[in-house]
Structure 1
Amino acid sequence: MGEQNDPIAELRNASKHYGDVIAADNVSLTIHRGEFLSFLGPSGCGKTTALRMLAGFEVPTSGDVLLDGQRVNDLPPYRRPINMVFQHYALFPHLSVFDNIAYGLRQQRPRLPKAQIARAVDKALETVRLPNYGKRRIHEMSGGQQQRVALARAIVNEPKLLLLDEPMAALDKKLRRDMQIELQTLQRQLGITFVLVTHDQEEALSMSDRICVMQGGKIVQIGSPRALYDNPSTRYVADFVGKTNFFEGMVTATGDSCQIRVAGFNLSANAPRALAIGQTASLCLRPEQIALQRNPSSEDRITIPVTIAARIFLGEHTEYLVKNADLGAFLVLVPRQAEAVEGGFEPGQMAQASWRDGVGLILGND
C-alpha cells in the first residue's frame, strides 16, 4: 500500500445531481498511491457515480476531482492516466484477443512502432496468465478468460489508476474467489492503485486495503476491513459489513462501558458514538461471538435457552438459526472444531446460546 501522505487522486466535496436526484452528495476522499480501495454499498448508494467522476465519464455538479494534485474536472477520460474494467468487460467481439488489448496503444499519438505494441501486448498477456492466447477470438474465451483479457487491455497502457466496476459480478462463486486472489496478486505485482466498486461485502473485505462504505450518496465510514468489521460506527455499517445480530433495547448507563437493557438483561458493551440514557439502541453481536452448547456454561457469560430453527453446513463452520422467546431469531456460527467437541444440533432441538458480557457494540437505531 502507498504512503499515507502520498495521494494519487482526490474527490473534494464532489456532488453529482441528475435533476432532483442527488447521486453523490459532497463526497470527499483521498486515494493513496499503490492502495487497493473499494467503494461498498447497495445499488443506488452513489459508489458507481463516484467511480465515474474519477474516470471522467461524469463531471461533478459541484466540487473537484484531482489527479496527482491537479484539478481534472474538465479533462476528458481519454486524457486521464486512468483505465477502467467494466462489469461486462466491453470487449470488441469482432477483434482478436491481441487486437482488443492493443486497441488503446494504437490510439496513441505519435503512433507506436508495431514491434513495441506487440511486446507490450505479450507482456500484458503474460501478466494475466494468458500467454499465446493473442490469436483467439473473444467468443472462444470463458468468462474468467474474458475478464483477464479486459484486465490486460486495462493495464497495457500502465495507468496510474485502475478502476474496476463490479468486474466479477458475472462469474460463478469459485471463479470469483480465484479471480479475487489473482487481482490482489496483480495489484501488488504492478504497484498500480486499484479502485473497486462492489456490493459484495465478502469481495470488499477480502481484497481491500481500505473500504469506503456509502449510503444515500454519502460516505458513512472509511477504514480497513478489520476496522469496519470490528468497529462499525453505525447500525447501517454493521449490518452491511458482515453478518450480525441486533438485539434492541434501551440504554441504561453511559460512560466507558455503556449498558443496555435487553429482554430482562442489563448488558455491557462499548458504544462508538455517544448515546443518551433512555435512548432506544441495539446490542450488535456477530454470530461468531456466540457459543452454542447443550448445557449452561459455568463461565461468567450471558446464557439463554434457544431452539434450533435451521442448520446450514458450510464446510469450515455451521450456521445455525436459533430462536429465543424474548430475543427472537438470530444467527450463531459454530466452527467445525467446536462442533466436533460439542456435537452438532438438529432443527427442533434445544440448546444454550451464550456470550461473554462486554463483547459486541451498542449502536443507535438511527
Structure 2
Amino acid sequence: MNNTDPETEPLPIAEFRGTTKHFGDVVAAEDLNLAIRKGEFLSFLGPSGCGKTTALRMLAGFETPTKGEVLLDGQVVNHLPAHKRAVNMVFQHYALFPHLNVADNISYGLRQQRPKLSVAEVADRVSKALETVRLPDFGPRRIWEMSGGQQQRVALARALINRPKLLLLDEPMAALDRKLRRDMQIELQTLQRKLGITFVLVTHDQEEALSMSDRICIMRGGRIMQTGSPRELYDRPRNRYVADFVGKSNFFDGRVTKASATSATMEAAGGLVISGTVTAELAPGQAASASLRPEQIALTRKPVEGDQTLGLQVQIVNRIFLGEHTEYLVRNDVIGEFLVLVPRQAEATEGSFEPGDAAHATWRAGTALILGKD
C-alpha cells in the first residue's frame, strides 16, 4: 500500500510529458515521460543517436518539441527561449571564447543581464565562482594556457555563476584522459552535493553514469527504456537491452519451462536448465535469455559439488589482468563463449589460468536473471 500523498510530494524541477521531437521523418525522441527531482544527479545514458542529447536540448530551450510538453518548475516552457530559462549548459567542447581571459569568459553571461550589475558585483561573483571550482587567482589566465581539465572547470564556473536551477552537462568529459576524467567525476559529484543544484548529464559511458548518478535514464531509439538508481538498473533490469547496456553480462538463450510471479526456469542449449528471478511476467514456452554477470561465476580446477550449484566444463580462451580482478573469456562446447570475472583473492587460492587450460565454471542455482526477449 502506498501512503504517499501526491499533493505533498515536492514539485519536480523539470518534466517531460509525452514529449516527442521529429526532424523531418527522423524521430529523435518519442513520447518521453520523466520527472526530474530537485537536487538530484540524473544521467541520460545510451548509444549515439538514442535521443539523449535531443532530450537535453529540449530542456535547455535549443529545441522545441514536435508534440507533448516540457515543464520547468511546473510551468510549460515549450516556446520559452533558452536565455529566459533558469537553466545553463556545459557543452562537450566547452565553447569558451579564446580571445577572452578566464574572468571575462566566466562573467560573460552576467554582463548580458539587464539591469546591468555593478563592476564590483560581477568581480565578486567571478571570484566566488573560481573558488567553487578550485581555480582561485586564475582570472587573468588565457584560455589557451590552460589544460583540458582546467578549461572544463572554467566552463562549469561560467554555467554556475548565473545560479541556475538546472545544470545540463552534454558529455563534458569526453575529451579528457581516463585519470583526469575520473578526477573530474569526483569533482562534479562533490560540487553538486555542495551546491544542491540539479545536474542532468548526457553520456554514453556506462561507468561514468553508474559512478556519478542518483538515477539513470536508459534510452534507445528515442525512447526511455528504464529509469532507476544505478543499483536497480544493474540488479533488476527490465529487459535484455538494459542488462546488456548497464555493466557486463553473459546471456544464454532458451525457452521458459516454468514460471511464477517472482522466478522462472528455462532450458538453454544442450539441455542446460537455468533458474533465476524475473523482473517481468514470463510464460512457459516463451523465448527468453538467462543473464548472468561475470562476477557471479566462479572458476575452479575441480568440479564443485552441491545440489545448489550449476557447473560447466570450459576451456580458457583469453585472460585480461585488471589489477583487483582478472577477466577470463572461456568456452563451453555447447553453450559457447562467456566471461568470468575472478577476484584476486580467489586467484590466490586456485592459481591463475592460462589460455588453453581446462577449468570448471560454476554458479549457484537461482543466481541468474531470466529475461524475455526484447
TM-score of the pair, normalised by structure 1: 0.98
Tell me, yes or no, if structure 1 residue 214 matches structure 2 residue 222: no
Percent of aligned pairs with the same amino acid: 70
Matched, 1:165 2:173: no
> Which one of 270, 275, 278 corresponds to residue 268 of structure 1?
275
Residues of 1 paired with 2:106 and 2:68: CA distance?
Answer: 34
Distance 1:46 1:135 in 2: 39
Aligned residue number for residue 284 of structure 2: 277
Letter in 2 for 1:205: L
Deviation at 1:233, TM superposition (A): 0.1
Residue 17 of structure 1: aligned partner: 22
Alignment partner, residue 335 of structure 1? 343
Task: Find the counterpart in structure 1 of residue 148 from structure 2.
Answer: 143
Q: How much does 1:215 deviate?
A: 0.8
Q: Where in structure 2 are the equivalents of 1:30-179 lying within 5 Å? A: 30-179=35-184
Name the counterpart of 1:313.
321
Structure 1 stretches of 4+ with a deviation exceeding 6 A read: none
Residue among 34, 39, 42 paired with 1:29: 34
Unmatched tracts of structure 1, length 5 or more: none
1:279 deviates by 1.6
- Structure 1 distance, partners of 2:263, 2:90, is 46
- State the 1:131 CA deviation: 0.7
Superposition RMSD in Å: 1.0
Equivalent AA in structure 2 for residue 313 of structure 1: F
The AA in structure 1 aligned to 2:55 is A
- SS state of the match for residue 305, structure 1? strand
Cα contact 1:35–1:193 (8 A) shared by 2: yes
1:258 aligns with 2:253: no
Query: Could you tell me whether the CA contact under 8 Å between 2:299 and 2:340 is conserved in 1?
Result: yes
- What is the SS of the residue equivalent to 1:135? coil
- 1:106-161 Cα offsets, whole Å, 9 max, x none, are 01100001111111111111111111111111111111111011001010111000
Amino acid of the structure 2 residue aligned with 1:242:
G
Contact 1:4 1:32 in 2 (8 A): no
Which digits, 9 at most, give the CA deviation of each residue in 1:48-74, with x for residues without a partner?
000000000000000111111111111
The residue aligned with 2:300 is 293
Partner of 1:177: helix, strand, or coil? helix
- CA drift of 1:298 comes to 2.4
SS in 2 for 1:7: coil
More displaced stretch, 38-47 vs 272-281:
272-281
Distance 1:125 1:341 in 2: 51
Task: Report what 2:231 is aligned to.
Answer: 226
Question: What 5-or-longer segments of structure 2 have no aligned partner?
Answer: 1-7
Contact 2:329 2:337 in 1 (8 A): yes
Partner SS state of residue 108, structure 2: helix
Query: Deviations for 1:305-327, whole angstroms, at most 9, x for unmatched residues?
Result: 11111110011111110111011
Are the aligned partners of 1:301 and 1:357 in contact in 2 as well (CA < 8 Å)?
Answer: yes
